Structure formats: structure tokens, C-alpha cells
Amino acid sequence: MLAAECFKNLRRNSRNSDGCKEPQELLHSAKMFIIKEIQKQLYSCEINALKQGKPLPKNSSLLTLCPILDEKGLLRVGGRLGKSSLEEGIQHPILIPGKHHIATVITRHYHETVSHQGRHFTEGAVRAAGFWVTRGKRLISLLIHRCVKCRRLRSRPCIQKMADLPIDRVTPTPPFSFVGVDVFGPWEVTTRRTRGGVASNKRWAVLFTCMFTRAVHIEVLEEMSSSCFINAVRRLYAIRGKVKQFRSDRSTDFIGATSDLGTTVIESKDVKDFLSTHGATWVFNPPHASHFGGIWERMIGVSRRILDAMLLENKGKDLTHEVLTTLLAAVTAIINARPLVPVSSDPEQPFILSLSSLLTQKTQDQAESFQHLSLKDMYHSQWRHVQVLAERFWCRWRKEYLSMLQPRRKWQEKKRNVKVGDVVLLKDSQAVRNDWPLGVVRRVIPSSDGCTSSQALRVSW
């Protein structure tokens, strides 16, 4: 209604004038007319007081601005710069009520003019244009928060409160009953010597980490195929026993060097038949959610650093399949010998809580001797020795290690859940932010605590 009245008034004035006004003059007149009408609606008491030469009401929100009326009847900021040589728009800016829609329109326009910069840039552009928006900082902050482009350019990734640990992380079970799997590599190994030099092939490593005890087992893969993968699992079964459940992700680290690993290995019929025959299940983490597999991602980082140090010592020598297998076995031993909890300075507790003591039933300070025992006493003492080591490990594991998993180191506050229909930006570390794809949430997958940690999206590339 206000815009229609404005155009009628402009048309009436243009007909009464001797000549047609320029488009810029008409646009400026329309702006001033709209602002004047808005000021009459919201600042009528102040305008009437100024026209009558009376002081402003004590409850007026414009007292600190000392408003004045110009020759056109517009309400402007009086301020203390009346004697300066600045332009009228800067010396006496036009007052714009911040709670009116016109303030949002003006602020959005100058926010786009400064290419979606922050509050300081936007507020400066509005002030330089000759407008004083009341409560402008709050309005600009709200506008930037709701701006789609600003959120796409600078918003932080959406996070949710850290979930409780899964049951296979906190329930005592035999080692390697619940296993996390990941593949890393490759390495160039020398396979045979030829007249022209040496022939080399690639080798990968598959890491199995116990979800409960954090022990690791590493096997070498000659190629990224279902056959090699099943052989690696068979070797794991032969050494560590059968596994109840495997966990893995669908990231490119697991896919490895070939683009079809997800269809030739985990999704292949051979692997499914093998798992079903041995009574094992496979659980996939959501795609693009590497933090779901932090327990084995951490172990892969440690394995790489240890192996890099070993390869640096063997620099200049040919890396063969046998040497790589031996080095990875040493890496496994080093990782499993690490302390699970900080080493105690108490002389009463010289025993270090490590996985090797549970897996091998041996300690470095093993002092018990069996040379003067009979065969019957040997079996009896050996059983007691193993039992003592196991009990010692599990007691300290419950008291010291399990309590370390209690606090949430990050993601401590509960955030708003992503809902169906939300438009989200998918972070891609391999691309610049402007190329990140947009997606629409089609389905949410809430966890047991009611928080949404994963979603099914429809991506628009």
C-alpha cells in the first residue's frame, strides 16, 4: 500500500511539473517519500515535538541522537558534528527504524554491495550512504546469520554431542572378538631381478584392531582382491581366533588404490559367504564420517610413523615382500607393547598395563623360574602364572583405562538436530569451499540418545 501510494504521488507530481523528471530523480524522490512515511508511522511523537519546538519525550529512544528535521521534513541525527565540513548524509544521517522492514531491505542491499563481508564492512557501507539504522549492529548480525551466501562461505561444520561408546568398546570380551578394519598403503616392493633392473609390485596392509582392548594385528595384501582379503582374515582367525563382528568405513582409505574395491571385496559374494560360514557380521560406518572410525584411524597413523622410521633405517636397500612382512610384524609388536594408561611412578606398581602382557602372557620383568619344578608342578604353576597375569591386566584395565573413556573430550553440548528437508553444504577436503556440493536431507538416523549423528542426503552437484 505504501509503495502504491508513493507511485501515485510521484505520478501526480510529475504531471503537475513543467517537465519530466530524470529516472534517478524519481527514484530518489520515491526513496525519500517511503522513508518519510515510515518515520511518520514510528516516530510521530518525536516529529510533532520537533515541529512545535518542544523537547522530546523522556521515554523516547532517540534522546541520545538529538534528532532534527530538515527542510524536507525528514528526521535526521543531530549529533555534535553540525559545524564540520562533512556532507549532509554523513553529518546528519537519515534515521531509519531498525525494527521496520525497510531497515532490513537497506541493510541487505549494502551487505551485498560489500560482497557479503562482515558486520563492520556492512555497517560502514550503510553509514556512508547517509543512513542511521537504530539497533543496526543487532540487525546486521541477524541478517548475516540468516544470509545463505555468508553461511555457505563461512559457517562452521555442523556437529552434535559426542555419543556414548558402543557396547563392543565397554563390554569385556576375548581379544579380537569385535574388530575394526582398515586398509593402508601401498608400498613398492622388489619381486624379482631382470636384466634391465628389478621388477616391482605394490603391497598393501590390512589393519585389524580390537575394539575392546585396542590391540592390533596387521597382515600384508599382495593385491586388492577378495581372495587376498579372505586369506588375510583366515590368517587372523588362525592366530587370534574367530571374530564376531567387523567394523569398517566406506572412505577412500578403505577403497585403497582401486576404485572398485567396495564391489570386489566387501560387497562381493565370496566375502559374504565366508563371513556367513564363520558366523561373523560386518557393520559399515556412514559414508564421509571418518570420526566414526577414529579408533582404527589413530592406529593407522601410529603404524605409518613407526614403519617410516624403520624404512628410513633401511634406506638404500631393496624392500622385498619378506622384509615388509617382517617390518609390519615388528610394528604390531611395538604398538601392542605401548602403555594403555600413563606409566605410574609408584614403585609398588612396576607392572605396565600393555596389550602384549595379555596377548603373549609374558612380561619383561618375568622372574618366575620353572627349572626346579616337576612336570605336574610345571603345569600347575604355568596355569597360575597365566591366571595371575590375566587377572592383573583386567583389574587395572577396569580401574585405570575404562575410566579414561568416561569424559567427552569434545562435542560436549547438545546441538540442534538436522531435520528432513534441511539444505546442507557437504564439506569436501579435496575441493575449495565454493565447489562444495549442496544436499537436501531426505532421512535422518537418530542414535539411542535421540541425537542425529548421520543422515541420508540427496546431493545436487
Question: What is the distance between the alpha carbons of residues 298 and 405, in angstroms, rounded to a whole number?
Answer: 15
Q: What is the pLDDT of residue 206?
A: 92
Question: Using alpha carbons only, what angle is made at residue 90 by residues 86 and 95, rounded to the nearest 5 degrees?
Answer: 150
**C-alpha grid cell for residue 334?**
611395538
Question: What is the distance between the alpha carbons of residues 183 and 251, in angstroms, rounded to a whole number?
Answer: 10
Alpha-helical regions (H) of 43-193: 44-51, 88-91, 101-113, 119-128, 136-146, 148-154, 167-170
**In this predicted model, what pLDDT tens digit does every residue of 244-274 receive, in sequence order?**
888 887 754 443 323 333 333 455 567 667 7
CA-to-CA dists, residue 30 to 47, 90, 106, 121, 284, angstroms:
20, 21, 14, 26, 62
**In this predicted model, what pLDDT tens digit does every residue of 335-385 receive, in sequence order?**
888 877 666 666 555 556 677 666 776 655 444 444 444 434 434 444 454
Question: Using alpha carbons only, what angle is made at residue 313 by residues 310 and 314, rounded to the nearest 5 degrees?
Answer: 90
Q: What is the pLDDT of residue 299?
A: 87
Q: What is the pLDDT of residue 312?
A: 82
Q: What is the pLDDT of residue 335?
A: 85
Question: Using alpha carbons only, what angle is made at residue 456 by residues 455 and 457, rounded to the nearest 5 degrees?
Answer: 110
Quote the crossing angle between the two packed helices 44-51 and 23-42, to the nearest 10°.
100
Question: What is the distance between the alpha carbons of residues 371 and 366, in angstroms, rounded to a whole number?
Answer: 14
Look at the alpha carbons of 404, 405, 407, 411 in this order and tell me if their dihedral is positive or negative: positive
Question: What is the distance between the alpha carbons of residues 334 and 258, in angstroms, rounded to a whole number?
Answer: 30
- Which stretches in the chain have pLDDT values below 70? 1-21, 193-197, 251-269, 271-272, 288, 316, 341-353, 356-358, 361-413, 447-461
Largest CA distance in the chain: 127
Q: What is the pLDDT of residue 395?
A: 65
**In this predicted model, what pLDDT tens digit does every residue of 87-100 receive, in sequence order?**
777 888 999 999 99
Left (φ > 0), alpha (ψ -120 to 50) or beta: where does 106 sit? alpha
**C-alpha grid cell for residue 399?**
580401574
